Chains A and B, each alone.
Chain A
Amino acid sequence: MKEGQRRVGKKLGFWLLPLLFALLFVIIGSVSLGSAQLSFYMVWKIILSHVPFMPEMEKDWSKAAEVIVWNIRMPRILLAVLVGAALAVAGVAYQGVLRNPLADPYILGVSSGASLGAACFMMFGQGIAFFGQWTLPLIAFICGMGTLFVVYRLAYIAGKVQMETLLLSGVVVQAFLGAGLSLVMSMSGEKMQRIFYWLMGSLTLSDWSSGVVVAPYVIVGGIIIFLFAGELNLLAFGEQKAHHLGMNVERTRLMILIAASLTAGAAVSVSGVIGFVGLIVPHIMRTIVGSDHRVLLPVSAVAGAILLIAADTIARTVMEPQELPIGVITAFLGAPFFGYLLRKRRQRFF
């Protein structure tokens, strides 16, 4: 099957290259847009001046412009890339493992759990920051994973998990966690502003260090999920078939769920609850590239990054100078899409 592998590679390249170009295009557009009126030309001169080994340039821009472009816009865009890719990949993984087309980190309550964990940690937890700045994503991951188990356990009735029950238990758990989050918020006093962002999701708080902290978690989680792409393909044929083909279904499922929750939890720890990205992106990509996870996963990661940059650009420019939470934009897109999927119920892939 060398030939088959080459075919997968070709197919991946065929879709991935245009998407990477689109990503570059969106990044260029996003970095040039903003409430501070900076010329396109100047923005790019500033960025290029930070690229190593570039010829020395004459600095004909102000210190403020430099700060806006390099310390505010760039880290924010890179964070959007990480968070968008993380949510989309986690969505693909959840949908594949749970064999449920409506699964995504937000709907399964993973995001809520992770955000409550992150909020509690920021409020009370400074004393237990054993791993320094790396602790926050870890806490978010553990709480997100715990929430997933509670939701799944609730929906597990008579040896089966029905799609409707899973959605409902997700809603119930989210309602509970939402209340918890509100409680933490009202106790937080001056930190309220910061925690408020976790409710609707925002990339406002991004700087280079938040990207650096999250990147390893997202990358490691994403690579683990990608290594399980073949297993995800097998699982699409049903757990029994996967078992008969020699897969240890229980263990594989657990590994993928942990990796997906790690990815999603880390994203949530810096961005808060950004809904529906993990739902919209995998679905659209699946209709375009098919359901081979070896292609679907990387393609979804790039598409997720594109969607999140676009949504964030809208969020920070549409009501200038005021900024909208990015979750507002993705929910405006995602909720109708969710309704559409619910009606259509096309379970062709599962």
Chain B
Amino acid sequence: MIQATGVSLQIGQREILSNISFQVRRGETLGIIGPNGSGKSSLIKVVSRLLTPSTGSVSVDGKPLASYSSKMLARKMAVVSQEGMAPLPITVEEAVAMGRYPYHGFFRRNTAQDAEVIQHALARTGLEVVACKLLDQLSGGERQRVAIACAMAQEPEVLLLDEPTTYLDIGYQVGILNLVREWRKETGGTAVLVLHDLNLAAQYCDRLILMEGGTMTHNGTIEEIMQAQLLSEVYGIKPLIVTHPNLQIPQILLERSS
């Protein structure tokens, strides 16, 4: 679905990303993890064409990223950032309706089909009850839900989420990730998630990419990445890896210095 080949990104004298290659298969959930400043967000920005790589290339669905028009690309992939929708005095429904923008011509008209998609996105994210509320009356967690609903209204094949849970409490974190999971099951879509929380990453992703200092150091299954030795080198912590009693997935326990 997504293929990055030898992607490097240089801004001024600084090299932000160097020689990154990876592949995301259709229908899988890829997690990108790594310490602060390791280039995770920049990688998402390159894949979503917000930044152009200095060398290397990205292709989506077999076609180079540059060959897509803005609207065609927005139909292929939707992006959710850290902050959620900005707190403007606009209703939730109107904000979600913006997700239909890539399907409209210059003299746009909202069709019955658009209305259906919007209602479905609202229902799926549990926002129907607040559909008429203004965004600036909502909490950060709710606005992140709106951002997800807006992205779903784009009916994309790929969902890119850049630290979507950073500012949220545990309840909302799990809520957002469950939404993405349900969306994937329903539509067979592909998801790429940048996450800080390794335990959540292990639970919600099929595969992980580990980044360090602008390079991709590891790319593998959950079991391959969730290794005490590896994580201790990367993050400078003393982790304890245990197996989740119900899910049989490796999880990490932290230990304070004594």
Contacts and interface: CB of A to CB of B under 8 A. Distances in A.
Asked if A and B are interacting partners, one says yes
Interface of A: 1-5, 227, 230, 233-234, 236-238, 240-241, 243-248, 290-292, 348-349
Contacts of B78: 244
23 contacts: A1-B100, A1-B110, A4-B94, A5-B110, A230-B101, A230-B104, A230-B108, A234-B101, A236-B88, A237-B86, A238-B86, A240-B81, A241-B81, A245-B74, A246-B101, A246-B154, A248-B70, A290-B89, A291-B88, A291-B90, A292-B94, A348-B87, A349-B88
A247 B103 CA distance: 11
A234 B50 contact: no
Given A2-B110, A5-B110, A237 B75 contact: no
Given A230-B108, A247-B70, A291 B89 contact: yes
Contacts of B154: 245-246
Contacts of A236: 86, 88, 90
A246 B118 CA distance: 17
A291 B136 CA distance: 12
Contacts of A241: 81, 85-86
Interface in B46-100: 48-50, 69-75, 78-79, 81, 85-90, 93-95, 97-100
B112 interface: yes
Nearest to B100: A1
Contact of B115 (A2, A230, A248, A349): A2
A4 B97 contact: yes
Contacts of B175: none
A246 B108 contact: no
A3 B85 CA distance: 23
* Interface size range on B against A: 35 or more
B98 A237 contact: yes
Contacts of B104: 230
A247 B81 CA distance: 17
B118 A1 contact: yes
Among B89, B100, B115, chain A packs the most CB atoms within 10 A around the CB of B89
A230 to B, nearest CB: 6
A33 B99 CA distance: 52
A2 B89 contact: no
A285 to B, nearest CB: 13
Contacts of A290: 89-90
Nearest to B75: A246
Given A1-B114, A234-B101, A244 B94 contact: no
Contacts of A230: 101, 104, 108
Given A240-B50, A291-B90, A348-B89, 4 more contacts: A1-B118, A237-B95, A246-B101, A247-B70
Given A234-B101, A292-B94, A349-B88, A244 B110 contact: no
A236 B72 CA distance: 22
B27 interface: no
B87 to A, nearest CB: 8
B48 to A, nearest CB: 6
B86 A246 contact: no
Contacts of A247: 70, 101
B102 interface: yes
Contacts of B72: 246
Contacts of B150: 245
Contacts of B75: 246
Among B78, B101, B114, chain A packs the most CB atoms within 10 A around the CB of B101
B93 A4 contact: yes
A246 B73 contact: yes
Nearest to A349: B88
A1 B97 contact: yes
Contacts of B108: 230
A348 B74 contact: no
The 8 A-B residue pairs whose C-beta atoms are closest, nearest first, are A246-B74, A246-B102, A1-B110, A244-B79, A246-B71, A248-B70, A245-B101, A1-B115
Nearest to A290: B89
B89 A234 contact: no
A244 B88 contact: no
A325 to B, nearest CB: 37
B99 A245 contact: yes
A4 B89 contact: no
A234 B108 CA distance: 14
Given A230-B101, A233-B98, A234-B101, A244 B86 contact: no
Contacts of A1: 97, 100, 110, 114-115, 118
Contacts of A4: 93-94, 97, 110, 115
A223 B125 CA distance: 37
A348 B88 CA distance: 7
A349 B89 contact: yes
